[in-house]
Amino acid sequence: MFTNDSAAQPAPSPTALTRRNLFTLAGASAALAATPLAARSFGTGFTHNVASGEPSATSVLLWTRYVADAEITLTWQVSEAEDFAKPITEGSVTASPARDWCAKGVVTGLSPDRWYFYRFLAPDGAASPVGRTRTLPEGPSATFRLAVFSCSNFGFGWFNAYGHAAEANDADLAVHLGDYIYEYAAGTYPSADQANPDRLLAPATEIVALTDYRLRYATYRADPDCQRLHQVLPMIAVWDDHESANDAYKDGAQNHQSETEGDWAARKAAAKQAYREWMPVSDAPYAAYQVGDLATLFRLDTRLEGREKQFSLETVLAGKTDPQAAIAALDAFRTGDWANPDRQLLGQAQDSWLAEGLAASTAKGTAWQVLVQQVLIGNLKSPQSLYAQLGDGLPDYVRQRLTAAAMASKAGLPLNMDAWDGYPAARERVFKAALAADANLIVLAGDTHNGWAFDLTQDGAKVGVELGVCSVSSPGFESYLSTIKPDVLAAALVAENEQLKWADTAQRGYMVVELTPARATTEYRFSTGVKQRSTKLAGTKRITTEKGSGTLAV
């Protein structure tokens, strides 16, 4: 399924700084949007705006792309004023064809909890657009807001969630939980009749080689709202499967056929390289970010670092035409392979790193421990009551998958083997580490295209909560369960699953997570649609959790 010499100066007001430059940056965005994506040239000069990421209290990573006739040195500048009359620090980076002309540099010596402007300069004096970034707070902190995104499929429509977040201008950091791009050929996902005619995909073929991945990123990053989001907010990003291939794991992927697409290791390396070229990210597979005394954000890799191959319910049921034989096979699977205590999702090294990090975070008095990761960790079973409502007209693969899910639910097995549900021993290790650390755990998840809110438990003990974000543009349950009303489906899912407290199975958008010392509040913001470019919202949903409660108020 799914070096700064201004530390002694008073810090400018974050609110004033963010708002006073919105008009200038919005003008650049409007000019960009006036050019149709299909007609836009990726010629010489600055081609894809600017971006920032990997923030700490004193540093941030800056990104741009500059195409030239030969390798070229760019100068970056950081300023507290938008006019750059007195830059506080500068340095140089190289734009080279070896990295697809993408240039990244890390700025150090900055002051904590402060907004900054930045830009790049070419040797001839040409300047990039001006970007805005900020450092993380240090010490006691009153509030911090994360704008959280997942699953942005270019072909299905516009990235209106990105546009709204930039326009709302009320977050401190963007977080992308993966599926930032999709690997499929044009006409595959979306199909030709589902595709938005204004969104022409390049390359038109499935991306397999390094040049393919690079061009796909160039296409996505030409989107005006994608550029705008990166221009005004630093981002922490993780990859999920579609940055390489559908249902990826460390040794392969469902959508990789070695007989026609070559060696998986080569494709995975190409995918990683293009991602690290085009995104404002470090090369570390996983990392932690300290947000004052409010939160430790743990960026995890649940895809390519340690994940073993997913189980398939269809494979377990293959050839079992008799219901009793099918249930017997599922029972054997549930107590056998599925329950294997050694099964890995993060891998042993990342498991240990996370457990140690959770303990260290709580030991120094950090209020919240937040997992920034890809797939749902809450337990989710298919409602058996819905099978009779499916009706006719479903594609065979969908009906087969739903039939398997219904039978699995009857046998006490979850719906999605690609999520943490497919790796129960790995989930138990994380939950026990969180309990041992006395963590206030918040898990952020994407991947499914739908919205979810879970209370998380382990052997009856409250572990924390999970907020699953709906997609930016990829369709959810409503696209293939159209015969069931979304509110009926959501209610059935909540009724079937004890940990699940709320679900939305029909809307696109994003969420803003506000952290304070006492509580965390999540606001789901739903786009009016993705077929037309718009920042209008269809509605919102707020969910809170009090520190120490391990439960959600929905």
- For the segment 277-293, the average pLDDT, to the nearest whole number, is 98
Q: HSE of 249 in the Cβ direction (CA atoms, 13 Å)? A: 20
Helix-helix angle 323-335:396-410, to 10 degrees = 70
> Across-strand partners of 60?
107
Beta strands in 226-293 (DSSP E): 235-237, 248-249, 252-253, 287-291
pLDDT per residue as tens digits for the range 140-196: 999 999 999 999 999 999 999 999 999 999 999 999 999 999 999 999 999 999 999
Average pLDDT in the chain: 92
**pTM reported for the whole predicted model:** 0.93
Residues 480, 394 contacting (CB under 8 angstroms): yes
For residue 286, how far is the Cα from the chain centroid?
A: 14
User: Which structure tokens are listed for 491?
Assistant: 């209610």
CA-based radius of gyration for the chain = 23
Give every CB contact of residue 259 below 8 A, 6+ residues apart in sequence. Answer: none
Give every CB contact of residue 219 below 8 A, 6+ residues apart in sequence. Answer: 37, 154, 201, 202
For residue 203, how far is the Cα from the chain centroid?
A: 23
3-state SS assignment for residue 399? helix
pLDDT at 433 over 60: yes
Beta strands in 328-412 (DSSP E): 368-372
* Percent of the chain predicted with pLDDT > 70: 90
Give every CB contact of residue 58 below 8 A, 6+ residues apart in sequence. Answer: 108, 109, 110, 111, 112, 135
Q: What is the predicted pLDDT for the residue at 468? A: 98
pLDDT per residue as tens digits for the range 385-396: 776 666 666 667
Percent helix / strand / coil, the chain, rounded to 5: 30, 25, 45
Q: Is 464 exposed, middle or buried (0-12, 13-18, 19+ CB in 10 A)?
A: buried
Residues 467, 511 contacting (CB under 8 angstroms): yes
pLDDT at 39 over 90: no
Q: What is the predicted pLDDT for the residue at 6? A: 31
- For the segment 194-218, the average pLDDT, to the nearest whole number, is 97
Q: Pick from 478, 101, 442, 188: which is nearest to 291 by CA?
A: 442
Could you say which DSSP state residue 553 is in? B
Q: What is the predicted pLDDT for the residue at 384? A: 80
Q: HSE of 289 in the Cβ direction (CA atoms, 13 Å)? A: 31
- For the segment 71-88, the average pLDDT, to the nearest whole number, is 97
User: Which structure tokens are listed for 305?
Assistant: 């670092």
Residues 247, 241 contacting (CB under 8 angstroms): yes
Helix-helix angle 224-232:210-221, to 10 degrees = 80
What phi and psi values does residue 317 have, to the nearest 5 degrees?
Answer: -95, -5
3-state SS assignment for residue 415? coil
- For the segment 473-482, the average pLDDT, to the nearest whole number, is 90
Distance CA 301, CA 448 (A): 17
For residue 167, count other CB atoms closer than 10 A to its CB: 16
User: Which structure tokens are listed for 338?
Assistant: 């599925």
- For the segment 294-300, the average pLDDT, to the nearest whole number, is 98
